[in-house]
Amino acid sequence: MIVSKPETKLSNQRILVTGGAGFIGSNLIEYFLQNNQVVCLDNLSTGFYKNIEELVENPNFTFIEGDIRDLEVCKKAVKGCDYVFHEAALGSVPRSINDPIATNASNIDGFLNMLIVARDEKVKRFIYAASSSTYGDSKELPKVEHRIGRPLSPYAITKYVNELYAHVFTQLYGLETIGLRYFNVFGKRQSPDGAYAAVIPLWAKMLLNHERPVINGDGSYSRDFTYIENVIQANELSAINPWQTIHKRLQKYQTEMQMENTPDQIFNIAYGGNTTLIDLFTALRDNLAKYDQTLAHIEPIYGPYRNGDIPHSHASIKKASTILKYHPAINARKGFELVSGWYFENK
């Protein structure tokens, strides 16, 4: 008897990536376009057309400029799609503190719109960007999916509500949903511009401009920095693993971990380590100094701690490794080296 091998790549599917002109979304599109048709939905509020400009001539690529808060736009985008990768959101803890209404509208109202149209279109699976901010004030390290704390920001609240909504849609309507709790993703095309730029592109830009980056606090806060290639792997695995297989593995995992009653299809996506902010600064400076030796003597400025920040972020990836067979290939140190080269070439 010939036993067919399990799929190792998502292929010959029609895929919707919301927020596809953003950092993570554009990297997913670039990867999935190798073997699939891809639709990009983005309102270009935080994403950039330049991230997808080279793809518009590809006959397998469709760009729809629109907002996930508009239900009719969501219906148009998901029409005929097999999979949805939902990356669209208003990110940034500080942004949510400054404007919780806008964060709520995009991250909850928009998310619900996408769940509804995915359900009605009977997509095969809805895979969405969750967030490590959901762990809130939990001091437990490493972070495990079934034990979280109280949210520390409006952004964190919205991302936890996403998990609850997705869980309910799976239970009530049979929509297959998987949430990926990203931990400090970084890589090419992550923008250094704007008031809410992430720390790695912001510091890289400042260093290349011979400016001194500001570290919020004493530099001891740490993050589980996760290179973009690992995130792409996790998204693809979330699509190709059969649903029955996921649940068979999940039941065994839940028994072993004595899990509490929390949404099941949630996975930490990280490398599974942590880097202090001072070590991050040193790594970026030293890698960029390979291209410009004058950067080697720049020292950081230490500023006040930032409201809503969690002190430490270190993920257990045991659940994703056991159930999705996620095995990240690029550690933070190698990622810092790769991204430094990209920022220097694209400065």
Domains of the chain: 14-189+225-272+317-330 (3.40.50.720)
* Rounded distance between C-alpha atoms, residue 76 and residue 105, angstroms: 20
* Rounded distance between C-alpha atoms, residue 134 and residue 147, angstroms: 10
For residue 3, the model assigns a pLDDT of: 33
- The answer to whether the peptide bond before residue 201 is cis (omega within 30 degrees of 0) is no
Specify the 3-state DSSP secondary structure of 35: coil
The one-letter amino acid code at 183 reads F
Residue pair 30/55 in contact (Cβ under 8 Å)? The answer is yes
Block mean pLDDT (10 aa), the chain, length 347: 53 98 97 97 95 95 98 98 97 91 97 98 98 91 92 95 96 97 95 86 96 95 95 98 94 81 82 94 97 96 84 92 96 96 94
* Rounded distance between C-alpha atoms, residue 156 and residue 329, angstroms: 28
* Rounded distance between C-alpha atoms, residue 105 and residue 91, angstroms: 12
40 closest CA partner among 21, 59, 55: 21
Name the phi and psi angles at 195, rounded to 5.
-70, -20
* Rounded distance between C-alpha atoms, residue 297 and residue 294, angstroms: 7
For residue 194, the model assigns a pLDDT of: 78
Residue pair 230/184 in contact (Cβ under 8 Å)? The answer is no
Residue pair 231/24 in contact (Cβ under 8 Å)? The answer is yes
**Assigned token pair, 258:** 């004595």
For residue 291, the model assigns a pLDDT of: 96
CA-based R_g, the chain, Å = 20
- Return the residue matching tokens 């593995």: 249
**Assigned token pair, 222:** 């740490």
Q: Taking the model in full, what pTM does it have?
A: 0.93
239 closest CA partner among 30, 23, 16: 16
* Rounded distance between C-alpha atoms, residue 44 and residue 345, angstroms: 24
Residue count of the chain: 347
For residue 260, the model assigns a pLDDT of: 62
H helical segments located in the chain: 23-32, 71-78, 93-98, 100-104, 110-121, 154-173, 199-208, 228-240, 243-257, 277-288, 318-323, 332-345
Residue pair 153/308 in contact (Cβ under 8 Å)? The answer is yes
- Return the residue matching tokens 């080296």: 337
- Report the catalytic residues: 155
